[in-house]
């Protein structure tokens, strides 16, 4: 198959894709670090409590209005008269009066949180509540909570991210330094009912090899070339560092591809991953996959040795709790997870670029499901070594969107329920040609 010619620049289209640029906090101008950090932790804790208060107020309001009874009656009516005749759902997820009640409750109880932070926090929680699905079944998340099929979410971690947007944040470029002016905290004024927002001039770390690319991203976001969107201010407990995650729209080139031309990405039994088109030879994306076998044997052999050694020998960590005794296990588990994500990133990138090079507009990802996922080459015969095929689909989704390739995910294999037969031929199965007698 001949390679497709490059598309002229005049014919290239641009599509906005949401991206996140992560920056490490270096210092704070005009304030002591020991004074600012406790306030940041207090802001995160209040945001966590405000999110829990959001769910509690929302649930109490629906209980008082008997929303669960209305849902049950509506579901029974749909079964009796039909979906169209039953009409729309009588229960609204977030009516206007409920939204005002939640906003007033949070803003009055936690007056230290800046008003824009409260608004953004309510938007984040509402999106998770309205667009989420139930843990089991086909109902939405909010319906499952009201019908007592699922518990109400509760945030318990102290490291709760603080949302911010261009309304309460400003990006500043001053020579070789980069700053973010952030407003997340309010201080009451004596004799007045209003509060004054505290502005933190946060200096970002821009030294080092990995920061050069981040420097260019920050400049494009600050200049407006890449639109600045809602972001978050978070704390990494493992590294004990503060980070600012700037969310922005990054334009990407979309090529003119043929949507009728389809390629298939398949996790193989004898090879790691390969991509192919009907009537053509397969293209390996990770070679024979020997590096995957080597990494898997290395990780699980080391885990087996350390596990055996921790049982047969005494350790200085004895008496310090199970977390200290099993700290080595988490380290080698993290090594394997990082390796899987790195390989999935390379596979997804190579697959999408291969489709663009040959003008293929549709990519079908044959995602292994159930017992089929355990028999793939990348899964292996080791315990808990099943590959993260869902992560590969997530990486394919945004890469295909950037390049204008249509993605379809087809689950293959016999599910746990056993309703679909595993002998069902796949989309690449060869059909026997009927010959005349």
> Residues 225, 226, 227, 230: is their CA dihedral positive or negative?
negative
* Beta carbons of 427 and 264 less than 8 angstroms apart: yes
Using the predicted structure, report yes or no on whether residue 92 has a pLDDT greater than 70. Answer: yes
Task: Indicate the range of 151-155, 158-162, 308-312, 421-425 predicted with least confidence.
Answer: 421-425
Dmax over Cα atoms in the chain, in whole Å? 101
| Greatest mean pLDDT among 69-73, 237-241, 297-301, 387-391 | 69-73
CA-based nearest residue to 109, from 52, 156, 161 = 52
Q: Note whether 262 and 381 are same-domain residues.
A: yes
The whole-angstrom separation of Cα 407 and Cα 423 is: 25
Q: Are residues 388 and 274 in the same domain?
A: yes
Domain CATH for 373: 3.30.420
**pLDDT in the model for residue 8:** 39
Are residue 228 and residue 279 in the same domain, yes or no? no
- Rounded to whole angstroms, what are the CA distances from 79 to 82, 87, 139? 6, 12, 15
Whether residues 399 and 282 fall in one domain: yes
Contact residues for 61 (Cβ-Cβ < 8 A; gap 6+): 98, 101
- Residue 141: domain span: 45-146
Residues with Cβ within 8 Å of residue 367, at least 6 apart in sequence: 389, 390, 392, 393, 409, 410, 411, 412
Residue 219 located in a structural domain: yes
313 within domain boundaries: no
Q: Are residues 132 and 166 in the same domain?
A: no
Query: Picking from 49-58, 132-141, 170-179, 304-313, which range would have the lowest pLDDT averaged per residue?
Result: 304-313
Lowest mean pLDDT among 218-222, 256-260, 341-345: 256-260
Among candidate residues 395, 298, 405, 420, the one with its CA nearest the CA of residue 356: 405
The reported pLDDT for the residue numbered 279 is 80
Q: Looking at residue 324, what is its pLDDT?
A: 64
Return the pLDDT at 385: 62
pLDDT the model gives residue 427: 47
Quick check: 23 and 210 in contact, CB under 8 A? no
Per-residue pLDDT band for 309 (boundaries 50, 70, 90) equals: low
Residue 378 lies in a domain: yes
The confidence band for 243, taking pLDDT boundaries of 50, 70 and 90, is very high
58 and 107 co-located in one domain: yes
Q: Quick one: what percent of the chain has pLDDT higher than 90?
A: 37
Same domain (yes/no): 52, 171: no
Would 320 be classed as within a structural domain?
no
pLDDT surpasses 60 at 14? no
Together in a domain, 37 and 183:
yes
Most confident of 97-101, 252-256, 433-437: 97-101
For residue 99, is pLDDT > 90? yes
Q: Is pLDDT of 32 > 70?
A: yes
For tokens 């796949």, name the residue.
426
Helix, strand counts (H, E) of the chain: 12, 12
Are the C-beta atoms of 362 and 259 separated by less than 8 Å? yes
In this predicted structure, the answer to whether residue 11 has a pLDDT above a threshold of 50 is no
Q: Reply yes or no on whether the pLDDT at 415 is more than 60.
A: no
Q: State mean pLDDT over 323-337.
A: 73
Residue 63 clears pLDDT 90, i.e. is over it: yes
pLDDT value of position 436: 47
Q: 3-state DSSP call for residue 184?
A: strand
Give the gyration radius of the chain's Cα atoms: 27
Report the chain's mean pLDDT, rounded to a whole number: 82
Provide the token pair at 223. 């200049």
In a domain, 271, yes or no: yes
Residue 226 lies in a domain: yes
* CA neighbor of 41 nearest in space, from 157, 121, 125: 157
Residues 31 and 165 occupy one common structural domain: yes
The predicted pLDDT at position 13 comes to 43
- The mean pLDDT value for 198-222 works out to 84
Which two structure tokens, joined as six digits, stand for 6?
A: 């490059």
In a domain, 312, yes or no: no
Q: In this structure, is residue 434 part of a structural domain? A: no
Residue 1 pLDDT exceeds 70 = no
| Residue, of 303 and 292, whose pLDDT is higher | 292
Expressed in angstroms, the distance from the first to the final Cα of the chain is 35
When mean pLDDT is compared over 165-174, 247-256, 424-433, the highest value belongs to 165-174
Q: Please count the structural domains in the chain.
A: 3
pLDDT band at 420 (very low <50, low <70, confident <90, very high): very low
Give the percent of the chain with pLDDT over 70.
Answer: 82
Whether 359 and 230 share a structural domain:
no
Digit-coded pLDDT (tens) for 359-385: 898 999 998 887 777 778 887 766 556
27 and 62, same domain (yes or no) = no
What is the token pair recorded at 303?
Answer: 């885990």
203 and 68 in a common domain: no
């Amino acid at each position: 198959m001949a390679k497709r010619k490059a598309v002229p620049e005049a014919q290239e289209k641009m599509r906005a894709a949401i991206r996140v640029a992560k920056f490490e906090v270096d210092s704070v101008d005009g304030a002591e670090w020991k004074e600012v950090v406790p306030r940041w932790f207090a802001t995160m804790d209040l945001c966590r409590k405000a999110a829990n208060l959001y769910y509690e107020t929302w649930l109490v309001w629906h209980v008082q209005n008997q929303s669960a009874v209305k849902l049950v009656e509506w579901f029974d009516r749909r079964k009796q008269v039909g979906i169209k005749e039953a009409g729309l759902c009588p229960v609204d997820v977030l009516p206007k009066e409920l939204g005002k009640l939640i906003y007033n409750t949070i803003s009055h109880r936690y007056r230290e949180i800046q008003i824009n932070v409260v608004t953004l926090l309510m938007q984040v929680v509402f999106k998770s509540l309205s667009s989420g699905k139930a843990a089991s079944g086909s109902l939405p998340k909010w319906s499952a909570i009201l019908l007592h099929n699922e518990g109400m979410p509760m945030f318990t971690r102290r490291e709760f991210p603080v949302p911010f947007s261009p309304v309460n944040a400003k990006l500043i470029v001053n020579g070789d330094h980069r700053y973010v002016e952030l407003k997340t905290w309010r201080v009451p004024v004596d004799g007045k009912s209003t509060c004054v927002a505290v502005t933190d001039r946060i200096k970002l770390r821009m030294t080092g090899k990995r920061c050069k690319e981040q420097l260019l991203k920050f400049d494009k976001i600050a200049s407006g070339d890449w639109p600045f969107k809602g972001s978050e201010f978070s704390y990494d407990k493992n590294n004990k560092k503060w980070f600012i995650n700037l969310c922005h729209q990054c334009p990407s080139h979309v090529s003119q591809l043929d949507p009728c031309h389809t390629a298939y990405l398949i996790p193989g039994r004898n090879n790691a991953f390969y991509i192919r088109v009907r009537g053509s030879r397969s293209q390996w994306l990770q070679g024979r996959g020997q590096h995957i076998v080597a990494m898997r044997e290395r990780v699980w052999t080391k885990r087996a040795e350390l596990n055996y050694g921790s049982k047969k020998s005494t350790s200085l960590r004895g008496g310090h709790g199970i977390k200290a005794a099993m700290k080595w296990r988490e380290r080698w588990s993290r090594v394997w997870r990082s390796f899987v994500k790195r390989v999935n990133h390379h596979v997804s990138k190579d697959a999408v670029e291969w489709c663009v090079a040959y003008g293929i507009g549709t990519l079908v990802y044959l995602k292994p499901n159930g017992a089929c996922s355990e028999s793939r080459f990348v899964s292996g015969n080791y315990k808990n070594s099943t590959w993260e095929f869902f992560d590969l689909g997530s990486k394919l989704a945004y890469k295909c969107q950037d390049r204008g390739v249509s993605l379809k995910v087809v689950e293959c294999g016999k599910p746990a329920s056993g309703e679909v037969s595993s002998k069902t031929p796949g989309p690449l199965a060869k059909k026997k040609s009927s010959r005349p007698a």
